[in-house]
Structure 1
Amino acid sequence: MVENSVPAIFSEPRRIARVRRAAVRQHVRGAPARFLLDDMAEDMVERLRFVRHLPRRALIIGDTAPTLLAFLEQSGSDVTLALDADPVLPQLSPGFDFIGVLGQLDAVNDLPGALIRLRAALVPNGYVIASFIGGQSVPVLRDAMLAAEPDRPAARIHPLVDARAAPSLLQRAGWKDPVVDTHTLLVRYARFSQLIDDLRDQGLGSALARPAPALSRAALARAQAAFAAHAGADGKVSERFEIVTLTGRRSLAGT
């Protein structure tokens, strides 16, 4: 009998390293980008308020999330923080009545398995919210990367989850009352390098198992020119970020 194996599209060490580098950048840079992380955290607070879910024991994965952390602590929650999901979840015993995941799931080889582990770490009727950037994100950056290497473009942006596939993933993982939502943020950039810095600040660099070599100077110049070609009358480029949010519960039976 042949066992099914999970394709190794992403490198776990590289994925974890990008999160840790982002945490360092958040502390050492004068004004690090946080708009995606903060949007996810604020959205989680709104959802918790809407469903009137005030957890006693909560886990936040992916970022310190000041807005979410403050809300949970003011609500009397005992909060655990973790930078990365994969080293943490296998070690957890069930007991959380809320888990919030900011980012992280965009570069997981076994996404169904991660969703199952999240559910398993909840108490019965526990609530999970997981947000990450989706497949409709960074179209301008994708165009720029193709223009940089027109003859033989290398894989530089890893594949992202299509929101249309998410409902079936949640059902496979056994989530109760699963919901998938998406919304879009448009961000204006004067320079190509600003976009790259923003991605790195928020732990969104490539985590591909087979990373491409660095762009040559000529290729980088082509990427910058292709990026600038999207500029509006004010000289700035609008880049799109799709945020996918998954919500659900563990059943009262605890399964």
Structure 2
Amino acid sequence: MTDAPRLTDRTALLRNRARALRDPALFLHETALEELQDRLGMVNRSFTNPAIVTGFPDFWTKAFPDATVVPDEEVLCLSEGAHDLVIHAMSLQWANDPVGQIIQCRRALKPDGFFLAALFGGQTLSQLRTALAEAEVERTGGLSPRILPMAEIRDLGGLLQRAGLSLPVADNLALNVSYQTPFHLMRDLRAMGESNALAGRARHATRPSILTRAAEIYQAHHSDDSGRILATFELVFLTGWSPDSSQPQPLRPGSATNRLAEVLGTQETKL
């Protein structure tokens, strides 16, 4: 039996994050935090033993000073059944096994505990992805992995069910940010710790001619009236509960006591 191919080079990811912390640009973490706090505010419950899984512990510790904060390693340092809330904060997109990560979070929850995750979705950096691909094909005739492949919201919602969480919900928030040039966007990605850490990436510097051509393509197709380029970041939010007998349960097939036609106030027709 062979191991599944790795998506992420974790050594490179940690190096990118450490470099980002010198002068961080964490405005997307700030947006994710606001959205997560809104969702927590809609839950009629007080959480007494939260845990946070993240690659940016300083930021999230300030937001949740009473939480247990652990790194997003492949094996999470969480005790089974110890927490009533687990938040996976802005790092699940880099997981080699995202389902396994969510399963570990579910196991760390008490019965009827709450799971929340914020991560980047498939629309993220779509403009940059296209521009780089076109430029590289044009200049070299081939492609190399440059931007993390991120899942669509419908697929991410399915992860919750596969991980055994109850009452799963997935929703998203698309943010359109403008930059002076594509190079200013790339500089921000470095300051976010989100530059290339793919295991299959090329291990040499990108040719300047590719970057220059990508910037030209980007500027030509994705700029506003003032000449600033537009970049999309999609934040996906996942919520679910660890199973408990107190939760609403689906009815057994055939257990309905009223006909659908009666509920809708229509005439039933036999075919």
Q: TM-score, normalised by structure 2?
A: 0.80
1:33 paired to 2:20: no
Shift of 1:93: 3.7
Residue 44 of structure 1 contacts residue 68 of structure 1 at CA under 8 Å; is this kept in 2? no
SS in 2 for 1:222: helix
Shift of 1:145: 0.7
1:13 to 8, 11, 14: 11
Per the alignment, residue 242 of structure 2 pairs with 250
Per the alignment, residue 261 of structure 2 pairs with none
1:61 paired to 2:53: yes
1:194 paired to 2:157: no
Larger radius of gyration between Structure 1 and Structure 2: 2
Per the alignment, residue 122 of structure 1 pairs with 109
Question: 1: distance between equivalents of 2:78 and 2:115?
Answer: 18
Match of 2:44, as an amino acid?
R
SS in 2 for 1:94: coil
Instruction: Give the number of aligned pairs.
Output: 240
2:165 to 159, 175, 188: 175
Residue 49 of structure 2 contacts residue 67 of structure 2 at CA under 8 Å; is this kept in 1? yes
Residue 58 of structure 1 contacts residue 80 of structure 1 at CA under 8 Å; is this kept in 2? yes
Identity of aligned residues (%): 32
Per the alignment, residue 219 of structure 2 pairs with 228
Per the alignment, residue 147 of structure 1 pairs with 134
Per the alignment, residue 124 of structure 2 pairs with 137
Question: 1: distance between equivalents of 2:205 and 2:136?
Answer: 12
Per the alignment, residue 81 of structure 1 pairs with 69
Shift of 1:68: 8.1
Shift of 1:92: 3.2
Shift of 1:198: 1.9
Residue 188 of structure 1 contacts residue 237 of structure 1 at CA under 8 Å; is this kept in 2? yes
Shift of 1:50: 0.8
Q: TM-score, normalised by structure 1?
A: 0.85
SS in 2 for 1:149: helix
Match of 1:80, as an amino acid?
T
Distance 1:67-1:247 versus aligned 2 partners, 3 A rule: same
Structure 1 segments of 4+ aligned residues over 6 angstroms from their partners: none
Structure 2 residues not aligned, in runs of 5+? 246-271
